[in-house]
Each structure stands twice: as C-alpha cells, then as structure tokens.
Amino acid sequence: MQTMKTSYQNLQDFITALEQAGELHRIIAPVSHDLEITHITDLACKCPGGGKALLFENVVGSDFPVLTNAYGSDRRICMSLGVPDLETLAGRLRQFIQMEPPKRLRDALRLLPMGMELLKSLPRKVKTAPCQEVIHMGKDIDLGRIPVLKCWPLDGGPFVTFPVVITRSLETHRRNAGMYRLQVFDRRTTGMHWHIHKDGSHYFQEYRKAGRRMPVAVAIGTDPATTYAATAPLPRGIDEMMLAGFIRRRPVPMTRCVTIDLEVPAEAEFVLEGYVDPDEMRIEGPFGDHTGYYSLVGDYPVFHLTAVTHRRRPVYSATIVGKPPMEDCYLARATERVFLPLMNAVLPEVKDFWLPWEGVFHNLSVISIAKEYPGHARRIMSAVWGQGQMSFCKAVVLVDDSMDLSQPGAILREVLNRIDLRKDVTITEGVLDVLDHSAPEPLFGGKLGVDATRRMPGESPRGEAAGPSHLPSGASIREALRTASELLTDHHILPVEARNRVLLVSFKKDGSSSAQYFRDALLAQPLLEPFTIIVLCDDFVDLTDYAVVLWKACNNVDPRRDMALKEGRIVIDATRKGPEDGHHREWPEDILMDPEIVEQVRKRAGELGIDTWETVKAS
C-alpha cells in the first residue's frame, strides 16, 4: 500500500501523485481552450464523486498542457493537503489555537516540537527558482502564448481562474496572497478583480491614497498547499505562505521577482509580474461565476505586465466555476472543516457548521451550537453576521449540537418539524457578497435568521400546531392556485412530513405581474392552509429537482422583499426579479454551455476517452 505524501514540491509533483493514485485522466486529442475544455471539465465535475483530474496535453494554439479539476473530489482535496481526512488538518490547527502558555520547564519542553513545526511554516528565500527558467520582458510579453481559458459563452474574454495574486501593504509591508480572477484584455494587460472586502483591494486603497503604482505578482500553478492557502479566509495581515508552510510541514521557497520588489513561490509554473495604476479602471466581465450565474460587468483596476516567467515545461493550471457542484465546492469544504477551530476560538459555543453547495458559500450557513441560555441562538446569529467573511452570509440556520450536519435530509426534517414561523424567523439587513444579485442594491440587502434550536426556560414556547393529517388533492391545489393567479401553472409537494409542510409552485412570469400582487391571495386560499411554506419558482425550474430549487432560492431571494410572513405562514418568491418586483438592477443570466460545443464534445467522446462518463451519455 502506497504511503500518502504529506506535501508536494510543486504542481507537477502533485500531478504525478494523482496519476499514481488513479485520479488523473489524460486527454491526448486536440482540444480548444475556447469553451471546449470548460465543457469537458464540467462533465467531469458532475460525475459521481467529482470525476477525475484532467490533463489536456494537446491544446490548440498553445505549447502548454492544461490541468483542471485537480482538487474536485474528497479524495483529491485530502491528497492535496497531505492528510487522510480534513479533520486531521483541523486537529493540527486546533492544537496550536488551544495551546496554553507553559507554567514550568516541563511544559516548555513539551511545546518544543510545536514550536519547531511553526518555524517550518515560515517561507524560505531562494536565489535559483524553476519559475524563472524562461523569462519574457518588454515586447516579448504575450499572454496569448498561455492557454488561458474562455470558460463560458457570455464571458467577456479569457480569464485566468487559478491565480495566486501577491501584493504587499504600503503601510505595514505585510504580504497577502489572494485568488482574484484576471480577464485578459490584450498581450500585456488584464483586469484585477479583487472584491472590496479582500486584502488585495484594501492594500490597493493604500496605494491610491499615496498616488503610487502598486506592484503585483501573479503565480499560476503553485504547489497544492499554496494554491489552497490563497483561497483561505485568513485574518488580515496573516501571511498565506505561512499557512501553506504549516499545511506542507515545510517552508514554501520564495524568490524575488525579476522586475518588481515582490517575492513569489519559486516552484510555480508561471509568474506574471507587473503593476496596477491607482487611477486606471476598466470595464471587466461578465464572467460565469461560482454562483451558477454570470457576474455583472464593473469597473476594476488594470494589471500591466512587466515580465512573464515560467518553467521550461510548465503546466497551466485552471479551475472552472459554475452551477454547483464544481471543483470549488471541495475547496470550500476544506475551508469549512479546517477553519472550524478558528470559529471555535471566537465563538466556543459553535460546535460545527455546514455551507451547503446550493448556497454557493455565501448564501446559506447551517450552524450547530451548544445552547446555554435564553436568546443564545439570536446572539450567535448576530455574532456570525459580524464575523469576518461570515458577515456576508445571507441566511443563517441555527440548530442544536446534537444534529449531525453531514445528514442534510435529517437537518431539513428537524428544522421543518421544529420551527414556529411566528417566533423563530428573523429578517434584517446587512452587508452582502458582491456576487449577490437578488438585493435591490449592490452589497447590501436582506438577511434571514432561523432559530431551530430547542426551547429552554425563559424562552416563549412554540405553538402546538402539528402537521396536517391529510393534504388536498392535486386537482384542488391546482384550482386554488388558479384562483390566486392564472400565472401559477404547476405545483409539487415536498415529500417531508413535518409540522411545516412545503408547497413548491411554478410561476410563469410575463414581466407584468409580481408575486407581491397575489401572495396574500395565496395565503387566503382555504385549501392551501395545510402548507405553511409556499415557494414560488420560475416555470422553467424542475420542481422535483430539490438541489436546483434550493440553489434558486438561495440565489434569487432577498429576504426583506421576497418573503411574506403572515399568521405563522410564509410565501417565498424565488423567481427572477425585474422592475415589476421593484428590482431595477440588471439580473444576470444562468450559465449555460453553447449547444454546439455540447454536441461537438458528445460526438468526440470516444476520441477524448470520456465516452464512459454517465454525464456524457445524459447530455
């Protein structure tokens, strides 16, 4: 039995390990980096368990192979972090967080191994770097040589999707490594899409105030620990290279750039060096994002390249994001597990948390707590909404620590059985992720809190209402819906028997009517009284595909505008919004692949070696 590696020297070392483990599929046939690689990767991501990592060896118009889906399974994300399971890494982190100061010499000696491990986490400077084996400067710089992917049909252009973007604070001189997509504008410029709450953007504002150009370096294809660290929600000022070193159990070798005063991972496949001008902005986007929708265009800084360096035989690393599940879901799962100890350090009553994939990380969080006093769950809601990147979460559901958060069906049944909609639902306002498109205003909108924890002395009891003993017939439901509005065309009863029964309803929107005009009529229909929760979906949504229904609800609902609570019942409008709904922002398109590309890949499935994939047959 082969021993699992605890760290990898570089990306190609990881590729070798993937192949030895049977986790890599090589595609030798020629493929295009314009949409075709994306569709093949999406098919792999949608395979049971996340499919395999893909190495495209013959990319049309490029000398470099492309790696995708390297981290897109439970097994591969654990391999990348050098652990048998994610709890092992979380346990290592918890040891340091809970470490107590030594009180005597014996305690100090016992802590020496941990101190040595921390020293190994510090990055190490080297002079000779594989990432600088080939150097292009001046007129030799040409991003067109790199097989940067155009991922989805409506994308504004090709995007670098797996960059480790390295910046340094002008004030504190601390380094940050973040992951911000780069739209390729031409041979020597890209966009720099850092969100307002990211450290890179914060440092950029320092340079803007000083009126100075900001040096920026971008490493593409780093070792797995470094790639993961760039995605991690670390507190501001903490060097991601230290986290990478901690995961690797050995330092990340860093080397000085050839044209700017920054250091980059020496073992990277490619490095882009350059600067961002504080006064130059350019329209960037759209981009098919991890929400499953296109993120809208916006003004972002421009990255000017002063050098491109790479290994003699580099591999270009990319990730594809879109409608979940995709590769980023597994990276998010790692963060969910690894950073639970950090959340515990701030909120010790939090025992576990779960970010469902359908919530695309920032729309839904389920948190289990050890409840100790009346109102404790409401306090945790407020604390979470004020805690780092968790503050962008739109909906928070609190459950007891006896709940197993790895059992989604049991959680849903428990929540529907327990909550009293009169008392357990909180609707408020706050900051939102920049990718939230449902709120009437960017970055700010409604938030939802649900308290499904047990009642304790001092809290008002829940009502005694029990689930209905019988439900109306399908014909009766259709008649009741038609009476409320002719635009309500279909329905489906969620097959979960609980005190709160859920009715899913198709709404054929025509641009003239809003759910606001008939939701009271829905609640007034006597035949619909057994349903305390009514969810409206666009008529093109399959009401029996519960993952899609939840994904739509998480993305499309602004709690303040789209939830109508009345006498212990609620109507939730999860449809697309327009001016008739009081929504005057542009509504993004769902991400869909070009049908010609879908058919082209289907016809080439045998040549590509993917004809056995169930997702190919289904398409």
CA neighbor of 319 nearest in space, from 56, 72, 597, 52: 72
Mean predicted lDDT score pLDDT of the chain: 92
Q: Is the pLDDT of residue 278 over 50?
A: yes
Q: Are residues 124 and 243 in the same domain?
A: yes
Q: Please report whether residue 286 resides in a domain.
A: yes
Where b means 16+ CB within 10 Å and e means fewer, 392-430 reads bbbbbbbbbeebebeebeebbebbbebbbbeebbbeeee
Which of 77, 104, 131 is the endpoint of a domain? 104
**Which pLDDT score is estimated for 504?**
98
**Which pLDDT score is estimated for 312?**
97
Q: Are residues 305 and 174 in the same domain?
A: yes
Q: Are residues 84 and 168 in the same domain?
A: no
Q: Is the pLDDT of residue 603 over 50?
A: yes
Q: Please report whether residue 218 resides in a domain.
A: yes
What is the tally of structural domains in the chain? Answer: 4
Stretch 466-483: mean pLDDT: 84
Q: Please report whether residue 16 resides in a domain.
A: yes
Q: What is the pLDDT of residues 287-326, one digit of tens each?
A: 999 999 999 899 999 999 999 999 999 999 999 999 999 9
Q: Is the pLDDT of residue 47 over 50?
A: yes
Q: Is the pLDDT of residue 112 over 70?
A: no
**Inter-residue contact 308 to 270 (CB < 8 Å):** yes
> Residue 50 and residue 327: Cα distance in Å, rounded?
8
Of residues 559 and 110, the one with the higher pLDDT is: 559
Element (H, E) at 294: strand 294-295
Q: Please report whether residue 586 resides in a domain.
A: no
Rounded to two decimals, the pTM is 0.92
Band of the pLDDT at 85, cuts 50, 70, 90? very high
Q: Is the pLDDT of residue 199 over 80?
A: no
Neighbours of 139 (CB within 10 A): 8
Q: What letter does residue 263 receive in the DSSP assignment? A: E
> Residue 582 and residue 594: Cα distance in Å, rounded?
32
Q: Are residues 143 and 259 in the same domain?
A: yes
Q: What is the pLDDT of residues 124-178, one digit of tens each?
A: 999 899 999 999 999 999 999 999 999 999 999 999 999 999 999 999 999 999 9
**Which pLDDT score is estimated for 111?**
45
**Inter-residue contact 212 to 280 (CB < 8 Å):** no
Q: Which two tokens stand for residue 132?
A: 């600088």
Stretch 239-263: mean pLDDT: 94
Which of 275, 297, 317 is the endpoint of a domain? 317
> Residue 614 and residue 47: Cα distance in Å, rounded?
7
Stretch 223-232: mean pLDDT: 95
Q: Please report whether residue 21 resides in a domain.
A: yes
Band of the pLDDT at 234, cuts 50, 70, 90? confident
- CATH number for the domain harbouring residue 522: 3.40.1670.10
Which of 104, 138, 154 is the endpoint of a domain? 104
Q: Are residues 380 and 353 in the same domain?
A: yes
The answer for 605, left when phi > 0, alpha when psi is -120 to 50, beta otherwise, is alpha
Q: Is the pLDDT of residue 438 over 60?
A: yes
Element (H, E) at 17: helix 11-20
**Which pLDDT score is estimated for 196?**
67
Identify any residues that bridge with 284 across adjacent strands, giving them in sequence order: 298
Q: Are residues 285 and 396 in the same domain?
A: no
Close Cβ partners of 234 (under 8 Å, ≥ 6 residues apart): 240, 243
**Which pLDDT score is estimated for 7?**
87
Band of the pLDDT at 194, cuts 50, 70, 90? confident
Please give the share of the chain, as a percent, with pLDDT higher than 90. 80
Q: Are residues 285 and 313 in the same domain?
A: yes
Q: 182-183 and 159-160 as β-strands: parallel, antiparallel, unpaired?
A: antiparallel
Q: Is the pLDDT of residue 429 over 50?
A: yes
Q: Please report whether residue 587 resides in a domain.
A: no
Least confident of 336-350, 391-405, 423-437: 336-350
**Which pLDDT score is estimated for 265?**
98
Q: Are residues 198 and 87 in the same domain?
A: no
Neighbours of 320 (CB within 10 A): 26
Q: Is the pLDDT of residue 207 over 50?
A: yes
Q: Are residues 360 and 301 in the same domain?
A: no
> Residue 240 and residue 206: Cα distance in Å, rounded?
20
Q: Are residues 436 and 491 in the same domain?
A: no
Q: Please report whether residue 237 resides in a domain.
A: yes
Q: What is the pLDDT of residues 381-400, one digit of tens each?
A: 999 998 878 889 999 999 99
Band of the pLDDT at 101, cuts 50, 70, 90? low
Give the structural domain span for 515: 474-581
**Inter-residue contact 215 to 262 (CB < 8 Å):** yes
CA neighbor of 202 nearest in space, from 222, 178, 185, 184: 178
Close Cβ partners of 579 (under 8 Å, ≥ 6 residues apart): none
- Crossing angle of helices 327-338 and 224-231, rounded to 10°: 80
Residue type at position 560: R
Q: Please report whether residue 593 resides in a domain.
A: no
Q: Is the pLDDT of residue 2 over 80?
A: no
- CATH number for the domain harbouring residue 258: 2.30.110.10
> Residue 34 and residue 290: Cα distance in Å, rounded?
19
Active site residues: 289
Determine the 3-state secondary structure of 430 from DSSP: strand
Identify any residues that bridge with 283 across adjacent strands, giving them in sequence order: 299
**Which pLDDT score is estimated for 434?**
86
Identify any residues that bridge with 124 across adjacent strands, giving them in sequence order: 253
Q: Are residues 299 and 379 in the same domain?
A: no
**Which pLDDT score is estimated for 116?**
58
Q: Is the pLDDT of residue 1 over 50?
A: no
Q: Are residues 278 and 309 in the same domain?
A: yes
Q: Is the pLDDT of residue 99 over 70?
A: no
**Which pLDDT score is estimated for 61?**
95
Band of the pLDDT at 614, cuts 50, 70, 90? confident
